[in-house]
Chains A and B, each alone.
Chain A
Amino acid sequence: MKGDIKTKLSFLIMGIGQIMRGQIVKGLAFLISEIFFILYMVKFGASYLSKLPTLGTVETVKQGRKTVYGDNSFLILLFGILTIIVILVFIFLWYLNIKDNLHDEELLKKGKELPSNKKVLYSLLDENFDKTLLAAPVTGIFVFTVLPIIFMICVAFTNYDKNHQSPTNLFTWVGLKNFKELFSFGSHGMGSTFFQVLLWTLVWAFFATFIDYFLGLGVAMLINKNGLRFKKLWRTILVMTIAVPQFVSLLYIMKLFANDGLLNGYLIKWGLIDSPIQFWVDPMLARVTILVVNIWIGIPYMMLIATGILMNIPEDLYESARVDGATGWQMFKNITLPYMLFVTGPFLLTQFIGNLNNFNVIYLLTQGKPQSMKLANNAGSTDLLVTWLYKMTVNDTNYKMAAVLGIMVFVVTAVIMLVVYNRLPSVKDEEGFQ
């Protein structure tokens, strides 16, 4: 044990050392956080933490006709995790407290002065400005993103589903059972369905990304053409699809393509077809239709980006190519495309990841339908992993499997990120193109 009495006191009462040395602000901050921690643990945290291993044992009972609820496994899990996080944060604070004490002691021993309270506060606007700016956002992310994600990961290892619904019923830990279920290939197993949905998710993301990319690039080049007029008008028309909320436009389009919708209605009326085209019913056609509608959504966005980049391509590159007698296609292939691909590499990757999780387009258009006897657990032919996951959560309240699926989505995304990201030319070689 190092340190003088002031430091040693701080082992028990955080911040006391700093206060005794005159650093009131810092000391009080440590002290208050310790008080908060103790209050939290006594009033709230400890009881949840103690129940975490079982997720509750007290059953709901009836007294006469009145219901008396027992343990709420959901809240035990949620606040149990919160308590663990709080404890970890506290331990870290405690460590900082000790370290700060030792540091101050050192300074005083060397005969140097400690920074004044005012200076400590002022540093929050200057060299520690980052802490001031990040404190709230980081806390927000911790409580509203990190905590829920840890919670859902934990749910994947429980039997939390419609038969184990809080507060009436308890749920508990089941280990890897749910993962085994996802990868079971029996007649009722989810394994084959999972891989079919995964396959379509990847296929969809690939086509949705690249079709939109090249068509958007094409449209941008079309509008950028020298001598073409009303450039702004064309762009504005296209950009409408970004401005109008998707639930309005896509729900309308969904009705438009329905078997008894406007499009089929007119085609039949004009005698072009005899029976309605099954846009949303035939699995293959539904997939194609979704991709087509997605072009409608995706092109304007890509067009905007491409327009900006195309203007940045040095004109003399084209000039010299023209002197060498290159055709338009050759110029596109050798100048425009490599430049675009280089600059937009990371963008393409984020688009791809975004499309893997493109909930809106799929859900508003088909809700994952059509379903099939060949697919288990309510999955449909156009379901992405995320829409399937969503349906499991909301329609079936099958949280355990949804959580497992969520982890799978994470794994797929992470793998693609890792594999692709480091191979991107613009990441490998930032200065390469200059």
Chain B
Amino acid sequence: MSKGNSNAGMRKNKKTDLTISYIALVVISIIWLFPFVGLLLQSFRSYDPKVEYGGMVDYLIPKTFSLDNYRFLFSGETNFLKWYGNTMIIAFFVALFQTVVILCVAYTLSRMRFKGRTFLMRFWLVLGMFPGFLTMICLYFLLKQLGLTQEGAIPGLILVGVASSGMLYYVSKGYFDTIPRALDEAAMIDGASRARIFFTMTLPMSKPIIIYTALVAFMGPWCDYIFASYIAFGHDESYNVAVAMTRWVWTNDYQGYFTRFCAGGIMIAVPVTILFMLLQNYYVEGVTGGSVKG
């Protein structure tokens, strides 16, 4: 066999190889996208019995295309806009404060050596092994003492979301560890205080991890249907979208709300997804950079 032949064979091999890869990827993409397409299609099925039906059906494509579900969400018949706003507020402030807290903790643990540092890290690791639900009832009564349940549920949720976030320092610490300490030392010789180094040197270099941390923190509250429902405790105006909308699926009081659930789901998914797509690169950097180091 001459060399040329083998090369041609390899090229041919490569080509079939790639074709198979493309087919596999297309199949995977279809599977991955199907639920979202389904969600979208169902959201265009009217819940009005004169037009179609809002409950469960055994077909995918609506018989008539309608925007009734979206109209319902915006009409003020329910507090959907309020819930949406609540979630937005919670997500924004949790993202803001949580990022600050995490960066503070991560920087300290990465850069400073003080007595009790390893103890603190071990202690937090141990705390993390307790299931969170265990503490829900207790947190509820703590917040109630502070007046942060029911009407005050939104600041309450922000407080709880931020209060314990110091324990999530891990990924950011991993990132700070990669910034050479020599830079700090040089600045210190020049007489800069640690605070100055943190604010003027380290933070500007940490844009990816800041965005990653904020993005993760921002996405969290959109899925909180357990603790948020505890804290709102039946007060409709304090619900977030997740609490309000899981009721549409789980509770018998809301029959025929399935298509409205789908529409609401789309309303949530679209902005979060766009934000995520825009910041995807930072996310990848955060996930790969921070979470795999020992």
Contact = CB atoms under 8 A, between A and B. Distances in A.
Interface string B168-200: 000000000000000000000000011110100
Given A223-B25, A240-B273, A243-B219, A141 B167 contact: yes
Contacts of B104: 133-134, 136-137
A247 B287 contact: no
Given A78-B142, A244-B272, A304-B288, A426 B294 contact: yes
A148 B142 contact: yes
B53 to A, nearest CB: 14
B135 A149 contact: yes
Interface residues of B, number: 89
A406 B131 contact: yes
A217 B219 CA distance: 25
A5 B91 CA distance: 55
B36 interface: yes
A210 interface: no
Interface in A137-154: 137-138, 140-141, 143-149, 151-152
A174 B134 CA distance: 19
A132 B196 CA distance: 13
A251 B127 contact: no
B127 A141 contact: yes
B127 A144 contact: no
Chain B binding surface SS class: helix
B58 A269 contact: yes
A305 B36 contact: no
A122 B193 contact: yes
A127 interface: yes
Contacts of A430: 294
Contacts of B60: 262, 266
Interface string B271-293: 01101110010011101110111
Question: Interface majority SS on A: helix, strand, loop or mixed?
Answer: helix
Interface in B244-294: 245-246, 249, 258, 261-262, 265, 268-269, 272-273, 275-277, 280, 283-285, 287-289, 291-294
Contacts of B57: 265
Which residue, A75, A251, A258, A389, has most C-beta atoms of chain B within 10 A? A251
A122 B195 CA distance: 10
B66 interface: no
A252 B141 contact: no
A255 B248 CA distance: 13
Contacts of A344: 292
A75 B265 contact: no
A132 B195 CA distance: 10
Contact of B163 (A141, A245, A402): A141
A304 B284 CA distance: 6
Contact of B33 (A126, A133, A151, A240): A240
Contacts of A410: 129-131
Given A240-B273, A243-B276, A305-B292, A248 B268 contact: yes
Nearest to B221: A245
B101 interface: yes
A129 B112 contact: yes
Nearest to A306: B288
Given A240-B36, A252-B38, A414-B126, A245 B242 contact: yes
Interface stretch (A55-63, A101-109, A313-321, A353-361): A353-361
7 contacts: A137-B165, A140-B162, A222-B24, A307-B284, A346-B293, A386-B133, A403-B134
